[in-house]
Structure 1
Amino acid sequence: MLRYLYTLLYILAAPLLCVRWVYKSFKPPQYREPLRERFGIVSKESSESIWFHAVSMGESNAAIAIIKSLLDKFPDLNIIVTTTTPTGARQIHNGLGDKVKHHYSPCDLPGTIKRFIRRARPKLLVIMETELWPNWLHHLKSSQIPVILANGRLSERSAQKYEKICSLSKEMMDAFVKVLAVNNQDAERFQRIGLTSDKAIVTGNIKFDINIPQFSDHEYYPVWKGRTVWIAASTHKGEDELVLKAHQLICEQVPEACLILVPRHPERFESVARLISDSGLSMARRSQPDSWDEGAQVLLGDTMGEMMKAFNISDITWVGGSFAEIGGHNPIEPAVLAKPVLTGPYIFNFNEIFGELIAAGGAQMVQNESELADKIVELMKTPELAHGMGQKALQVIERNRGALDKTVSVIEQYL
């Protein structure tokens, strides 16, 4: 019953969704071309496919790791990947090239998903993390197509919301053949909203299995060689002002300090550039080499897919989405590079990872821009302390590796 009500509401909202997609086509323009794909109009497959779905960048990276491992063993697999955002699409294209076919994800209407199934011919769907679409799951189950949730995460806040619609949640959970949870807490939450215990497997977090890329020294911004650099990564609206205030406080005590500021979403690059200019801090832009200056106090990271390069030249990292009530972002990338990790108080999307990093001494929480500035100054003035934090963060990563092999092993059973 709830699914029918949900579908009715979705149909009523569909015109607004179309307006939204058209509006977003102007920034960034990658949204314009796939409108037909949002309604399941994709190229017809001549053979059965394995369908992976990832929302954006983080989920796409995890999907890429799984797909590469599968293709190493089964090079003839026909793999389709859908993403919700252009950021995720870009990650798939950069990471896999023409080894897979990419489409934008179909919206959750019965006719749309049935059309997509007919054209894409999936024999298995692997959903990354926590994408629960009622009509997708209902019609895949009706078509006897197994669905696996990989790297499954469910925060306590989300679990409580799903418990309020328990009948619909249970119907969605019944569609999965396996849920591969990142830890015991997530597995328990999935069972609370209707998953049967025999379908829950704790495999760990694939993101811990990230390969450490090789970079040349200061490849991201070579003119800062020898400078002390901190990074504010994946910032959201309202956080950039706080970060810039923190940097001004830092520069009062460490005048040579440098900041890399990387907004989470590319459509905010220009507005953040204006904020930096208005702050009085001198700025360079990663996308504009003619602006590069050794004396720049702030480097705006206005390119995509280069976060690891930015982390690589940073001495200290602060992970965004944690001063705003976003819930934080994944701290594994800086930790795998042995960087000390700082975060704001809102980390409910990554409680377990941050909890382990903080307990091990590889990360620390700060409550506001003043505390952020004080901690960064402390780490800049005592590099041995920063180095020790980074090593402890890396040790947490090493202890948690192995999820990728476990995940691939389960998926192989359904190929």
Structure 2
Amino acid sequence: MLWTAALPFLSLMPRIREGWQQRILRYCPTGPFDIWLQAASGGEAFIAAKIVEELDTMVPAGRQLTVLSTTGTRQGYDVLSRAMQTFNANRSINPAVSYFPFDAPFLMQKAFSRFNPTVAVIIETELWPGFLLTAKKYGVPVLLVNGRMSEKSFHSYRHLKTFFKRYGPLKILAISEKDRQRFAKLTGADRTDVMNNIKYDQISLPPEETPYNIPLCLPESVPFIVLGSVRREEELQIVRTIKLIRAIKPDAVIGLFPKHLERVTPWLQLLTENEIPAVLRNTPVRDIVPGDVVVWNRFGELHDAYRRADAAFVGGSLVNLGGQNFLEPLISGLKPVIGPHWQNFSWVDHRLFSQGLVRQVTNEEELADLLLTDLPSRSDREKTVQAAMALLAEHKGGTRQACQMILNGLKERRKN
């Protein structure tokens, strides 16, 4: 009843309106599917793509798996769509992509009936009650891989301990012992184990000759600073940072990457109000010139921007939001700067900090100073990459661990 009343209001929200027909299952793929993978947004979608890629190498010759990948955001949908385009009839995976249905009981019943999955797989933490209840009703085992649960989330979920013991995932692979313990308190220790984080497997070096896929025609002499994955809650601190940088280095070009693309227009307004020259990433009006702030309005180009950058900050970390992926600029040869809040990445090897490969600041003044200090240093990028990859290589293998559990789950379900 509540969902029926809420749907008309949800349809007015821009982020929710994307993929509306699929969210309400008016148009969506039809099963049966061997595997239903659920990835919340862009980051989880990259993990889903990595899992599907690895499954393709593990399926016995002559066999084919049907895999449905769903997500809740446009960013996630775009990532999955691009990744699944690489699979053709000669591969071991027959993929489909859709938006995740609303968690309304009547829609979830329709989803499980239409998708008819053999197993369902949650990536990281997507514990939707309607999804879990309906999976139980249809006898579909739910697995959770690359599991993580913050202390804040645990304090919310712990009130539903009885529910999760009965309807929670059958098996959980968590990315750290702390995460495993939190899941164990909800579902029982016998259903949990630890795995290597799949994000380590995503770290690879592009061929040196790979061109930049970004519209920058800047001379090497023009300094380029990337402010990546900036969150709404830290926008005022970033404006202050930009002003401090421009006061000392007015010719620097700054690439501003909002974490969520709906913040692009508010960012343009905010920069204009502060008399900071701003241009959209894909504007045809004029070339980018020294001193511009380029506001990126396209997903998927941050990695190439890091490759061209002279200095980089990774957002979600100046305020208590847990941080964003600072490994990406690191493997591009940069020594990224982050704020004090990076608890979402507490799983990374802390030697990255002790060896100075990642630097932490406490406020925007320190941030601007360190970014400016990085500009003339032109540190040895190859040496930075080698040091980082040596540490990160010790933690790879999580994708195969996750895929093995998924294939085991398929085997068990088919036996029953």
Query: What's the TM-score, normalizing by structure 1?
Result: 0.87
Query: Which residue matches 1:349?
Result: 344
Partner SS state of residue 291, structure 1: coil
- Counterparts in 2 of 1:251 and 1:129: CA distance versus 1, 3 Å: same
Which moves more between the two structures, 385-394 or 181-190? 385-394
Evaluate the alpha carbon distance shift between residue 290 and residue 101 of structure 1 in structure 2; reply closer, same or farther with a 3 A threshold.
same
| Correspondence for 1:380 | 375
Q: Deviations over 1:278-333 (max 9, x none)?
A: 33333332212443223243221111121211221112221111223322112222
Q: Tell me how far 1:96 sits from its aligned partner.
A: 1.3
- In structure 2, how many angstroms separate the alpha carbons of the residues matched to 1:265 and 1:354? 27
Shift of 1:44: 6.3
Contact residue 341 and residue 363 of structure 1 kept, 8 A: yes
2:8, 2:86 → 1: CA distance? 29
Give the number of equivalent residue pairs: 397
Find the aligned partners of 1:317 and 1:393 in 2 and give their Cα distance: 16
Does structure 2 conserve the Cα–Cα contact (< 8 Å) formed by 1:361 and 1:392? no
Cα distance in 2, alignment partners of residues 224 and 110 from structure 1:
53
C-alpha contact (below 8 Å) 2:252/2:290 kept by paired residues: no
Conserved 8 A contact 2:49-2:84: yes
Q: Does 1:291 align with 2:289?
A: no
SS in 2 for 1:328: coil
Structure 2 residue identity aligned to 1:224 = L
2:187 partner SS:
coil
1:42: how far off? 4.9
Q: Give the equivalent residue in structure 2 for 1:19.
A: 9
The residue that corresponds to 1:268 in the other structure is 263
Matched, 1:222 2:216: yes
SS at 2:12 equivalent? helix
Aligned to 1:338: 333
Q: 1:24-48 deviations in whole A, cap 9, x for unaligned?
A: 2xx46xx546434334445463544
Counterpart in 1 of 2:102? 107
Structure 2 counterparts to residues 26-175 of structure 1, below 5 A? 27=14, 31-32=16-17, 34-43=19-28, 45=30, 47-74=32-59, 76-97=64-85, 99=87, 100-173=95-168
Q: Which runs of 5+ in 2 are unaligned?
A: 88-94, 411-416
Secondary structure of 1:222's partner?
coil
Work out which of the residue numbers 347, 362, 368 in structure 1 matches 2:357: 362
2:85 match: secondary structure: helix
Match of residue 193 from structure 1: 186
Tell me the distance in 1 between the aligned counterparts of 2:290 and 2:340: 32
Instruction: Render the CA deviation track for 1:246-288: whole Å, top value 9, x for unaligned.
Output: 1222233334432110111111111212222333333332212
* Offset, 1:127: 0.8
**Structure 2 Cα separation of the partners of residues 396 and 41 of structure 1:** 48
Secondary structure of the equivalent of 1:82?
strand
SS at match of 1:224: coil
Structure-2 residue corresponding to 1:414: 409
SS at match of 1:223: coil
The residue type equivalent to 2:37 in the other structure is F
Please say if 1:246 is aligned against 2:241: yes
Residue pair 1:361, 1:389 contacting (<8 A) in 2 also = no
Question: What residue number does 1:5 align with?
Answer: none
For 2:5 and 2:84, how far apart are their aligned partners in 1?
Answer: 34
Q: CA deviation at 1:144?
A: 1.9
Conserved in 2, the CA contact under 8 Å of 1:335 and 1:341? yes
Cα pair 1:228 1:258 within 8 Å, conserved:
yes
Bigger shift: residues 379-388 or 101-110? 379-388
Does the 8 A contact of 2:253 with 2:289 survive in 1? no
Deviations along 1:126-178, one digit per CA (max 9) or x if unpaired, are 111000012211221232212111111111221222223322232343xx232
What percentage of aligned pairs have identical amino acids?
26
Query: Which runs of 5 or more residues in structure 1 are unaligned?
Result: 1-10
* Greater CA drift, 356-365 or 129-138: 356-365
For the Cα contact (< 8 Å) 1:322–1:347, is it kept in 2? yes
1:324 maps to a residue whose letter is: V
More helix by share: 1
* Structure 1 CA distance for aligned equivalents of residues 262 and 371 of structure 2: 28
CA contact (8 A) 2:18 2:73 kept: no
Amino acid at match of 1:84: G
- 1:3 is aligned to none
Q: Secondary structure at the match of 1:269?
A: helix
